[in-house]
Structure 1
Amino acid sequence: MEEQRAPAAGSSRRWRTGPAWWSREGDRVRWPWRSTVLVTAFVLIGSHFAAESQVDERAPLDAFARLLLLAAGAQLLWRHRYPVAVAFGTAAAVMVYLGAGYPYGPVFLTVALSCFGAIVAGHRRAAWAAMGTLWAGHVLVAHWLYRWLPPSGDSAAPWGQEIVVAAWVVAIGALSELVRTRREQWAREREERARAARRRADEERLRIARELHDVLAHSISVINVQAGVGLALLDTDPEQARTALTTIRAKSKEALGEVRQVLDTLRAPGAAPRAPAPGLGRLPELVAQAASAGLAVDVEGETPRLPPATDLAAFRVVQEALTNVVRHSGSRHARVRLDHDRRTLRIRIDDDGPATGADAGGSGNGLAGMRERAAALGGTIEAGPRPDGGFRVLAALPVTPKEDDR
């Protein structure tokens, strides 16, 4: 069986036309020269030996018989491009061959191969119709028309022979159906694996985008505030302006490091990170950074021992909430409360407001990212204005990882 041409870049393989060695690639089909020549030669040679063993029973092979054998075999050259036409064409050639009284032999192989290919390519009814037509024609010739057809003096064929022929037809059809079913199953499995790979790639891109947003939004907010302080005090208080510039330098260096870590993960999926992922152990650092941006933060409660994914999500939730207070709230005071039991860590971040723009609590991307983080772990995020003014973020994250994350 011939190998199919390698598809051009960007082309898609259509399953309907079957496996690679008999499928289309665009409008180009590999011509099966070698297999066609081998089958045709086998049919011609095998029929010659069959004729020698049936000298007294069937008509001898002549030029017309060999022409029919050659036509039946040569049609297989088009079995990839026109499977239905070839199935009926080979059946018709074999029917004429049998009707002329020529010897039984491997000529049936041409019909078997053409119908096998047609079924696997998806043309099931046509293939079954071609095989059924051949069998019915054989019954008609062997039990009625034999009186008027060569060889002379021929008698009706035994019905047991017809049962054997019918059994072979059913066996060939059943094998073809089995192959077709298995190929379709493999194609579905390949498509499922491809969809799963695309889904994992999408989830990884979303994770990286969320991580970059959280790192950059927080860092740039602190840098923006410190830059404003430095500009305001540049002439009146140079020392304080120097402190602001030092904070900007440290924060930008930290942000670059975290961004580099995220990008390293993108370039080498599955590689261990060079630095540990941040967690609530760095909460005092967040509080200090918020203080340098003019936001006083009170922290209540203790941090339990958390899985790495939950620890990172909790850190990012607090980081995003404090960043939103700095950027979108007129309040200079925020409260972070941590509470936990054996299953859930609850985080509450409050500020007293008022909002300094239309995007109270954030522009939407940060809140969406927090909700996606929590949902991925089996937790929840609630965020919105408080009845007495200000804004509140409530997070509930699992203390123990989900079974499928272990």
Structure 2
Amino acid sequence: MITNALRSLWAEPRAADAPARVSRDWVLVGALMVTALLEGVLRDDVAWRPFATIVAVGLAPVLLWRRTRPLACVVVAWGTAMVLGLATLAGGPTHIGLTTMIYVLVLVYALVRWGSGREIVIGLAVVLVAAVIGTVADYTGPSDVIGGFGITAAAAAGGAAFRYRAESWRRALDQIRSQERVGLARELHDMVAHHVSAIAVQAQAGRAMAGQRPEAGLEALAVIEGEASRTLAEMRAMVRVLRDGAPAEYTPQPGIADLVSLARREPVPVVDVEVPGDLDALPLQVDAAVYRVAQEALTNALRHARNASRVEIRVVEGGGRLRLRVTDDGQIDPARPASHGFGLLGMTERVQLLGGTLLAGPAPEGGWAVDAELPTEVRR
């Protein structure tokens, strides 16, 4: 188990989106250099005071590369501390170094926060060796040993905690983007199916009327051209959003007020739309869902209702519920999906996610009916 954990850590890539050097980094380095210089000048109990001051001041700029080169920074700073500890063990004076050099703990945090797994393992090994040498060279008691190692471990743990939180947040965002893409794929299906069905109906009508009225074929071609142009434009916009890394150019989602654009008087079947005019306060999710369900139900009617002369779309609101009913008077196609199919599944899931219900099947009076009920207020 430990071996697997170490292998997993070793293979861990660097943290994504490490921030670039900013002005506060320069301020931090400048403040540390000034503090180290003042400490070196004002304190008279530091061994090798000029050398220790130069080391403390000279190592401070290493912090500028702590995010982009965390291992190199740890090796330079903690390697220097290791050399000072070895100098003490070799017979040199004790207490070499300034208190300001505690800033090397920032490098331990940065190593775990931004480094790769290999860098973390190698860097922490360097830190451990340097800490052991420094402890042996300047041993003052168990409390200092425990405190020193505890503070170093806390710096590493802080880096791990912030790294885990950032990764969790990134994964959550990726999951949200994935869910949004699934929703956009359904939107793409609904939109393309609707427009293609309209194109097919226009082509059939134009072919049927071309023998009696030649101009009808030209009118049908004009309508087909418009539908095809709109379909291509919407498909390009949707695909641009679905691509990874591409900027999303969102446009307002169609709603109940846009259902009137689905109405038509010709060709057959006639599409009749009736919606109330006082639904401005509806939640955006419900507003968009009603339009998409009606659009998909109309697409299915145009595609599967044989010999239909009329399709009716009715929206009624009352009692905190919004009811959508789409019916046609055609003959039922045996191949018409009653409980399967991506379109019907998408409608059902969309409505259920908002706390509503959807039923689709043969109507008692003949033809096909789609009934959807949604709450006018979405629970949060």
TM-score in terms of structure 2 length: 0.62
In the alignment, the residues of structure 2 paired with residue 79 and residue 302 of structure 1 have an alpha-carbon distance, to the nearest angstrom, of 64
The question of 1:366 aligning with 2:367 is answered: no
In the alignment, what sits opposite 1:50?
Answer: 93
In the alignment, what sits opposite 1:379?
Answer: 355
Q: Residues 79 and 283 from structure 1, CA distance in 2 versus in 1: closer, same or farther, beyond 3 angstroms? A: closer
Q: Deviations over 1:23-59 (max 9, x none)?
A: x99xxx86965345522431244443438xxxxxxxx
5+ residue gaps, structure 1:
1-9, 52-77, 95-105, 111-160
In the alignment, what sits opposite 1:268?
Answer: 247
| Alignment of structure 1 residues 51-66 onto 2, 5 Å | none
Q: Which among 257, 280, 292 is matched to residue 266 of structure 2?
A: 292
Letter in 2 for 1:50: P
Q: CA deviation at 1:220?
A: 0.5
- For the 8 Å contact 2:78–2:130, the answer to whether it is kept is no
| Greater length-normalized contact order (CA 8 Å, ≥ 6 residues apart) | 2
Q: CA deviation at 1:324?
A: 0.3
Q: Which among 125, 128, 136 is matched to residue 108 of structure 1?
A: 136
Q: Residues 82 and 197 from structure 1, CA distance in 2 versus in 1: closer, same or farther, beyond 3 angstroms? A: closer
- For the 8 Å contact 1:347–1:396, the answer to whether it is kept is yes
Q: CA deviation at 1:363?
A: 6.2
Q: Deviations over 1:252-273 (max 9, x none)?
A: 233334335545666433x563
Q: Secondary structure of 1:337's partner?
A: strand
Letter in 1 for 2:320: R
Letter in 2 for 1:43: G
- For the 8 Å contact 2:74–2:127, the answer to whether it is kept is no
Letter in 2 for 1:325: A
Q: Which among 317, 321, 333 is matched to residue 344 of structure 1?
A: 321
In the alignment, the residues of structure 2 paired with residue 242 and residue 399 of structure 1 have an alpha-carbon distance, to the nearest angstrom, of 44
Q: Which of the pair has more CA radius of gyration?
A: 1
Q: CA deviation at 1:89?
A: 11
5+ residue gaps, structure 2:
1-10, 17-64, 95-118
In the alignment, the residues of structure 2 paired with residue 182 and residue 32 of structure 1 have an alpha-carbon distance, to the nearest angstrom, of 16
In the alignment, what sits opposite 2:368?
Answer: 391
| Alignment of structure 1 residues 1-400 onto 2, 5 Å | 12-13=13-14, 34-35=76-77, 37-47=79-89, 48-50=91-93, 80-81=121-122, 106=134, 108=136, 165-262=141-238, 267-269=246-248, 271=249, 273=251, 276-288=252-264, 291-300=265-274, 302-303=276-277, 304-305=279-280, 306-330=282-306, 332=308, 333-341=310-318, 343-352=320-329, 354-360=331-337, 364-376=341-353, 378-386=354-362, 388=364, 390-400=367-377
- For the 8 Å contact 1:353–1:390, the answer to whether it is kept is yes
Sequence identity (%)? 27
Q: Secondary structure of 1:212's partner?
A: helix
Cα-Cα RMSD: 4.2
In the alignment, what sits opposite 2:103?
Answer: none
TM-score in terms of structure 1 length: 0.58
In the alignment, the residues of structure 1 paired with residue 120 and residue 377 of structure 2 have an alpha-carbon distance, to the nearest angstrom, of 60
Q: How many residues align?
A: 291
Q: Secondary structure of 2:263's partner?
A: helix
Q: Residues 191 and 80 from structure 1, CA distance in 2 versus in 1: closer, same or farther, beyond 3 angstroms? A: closer
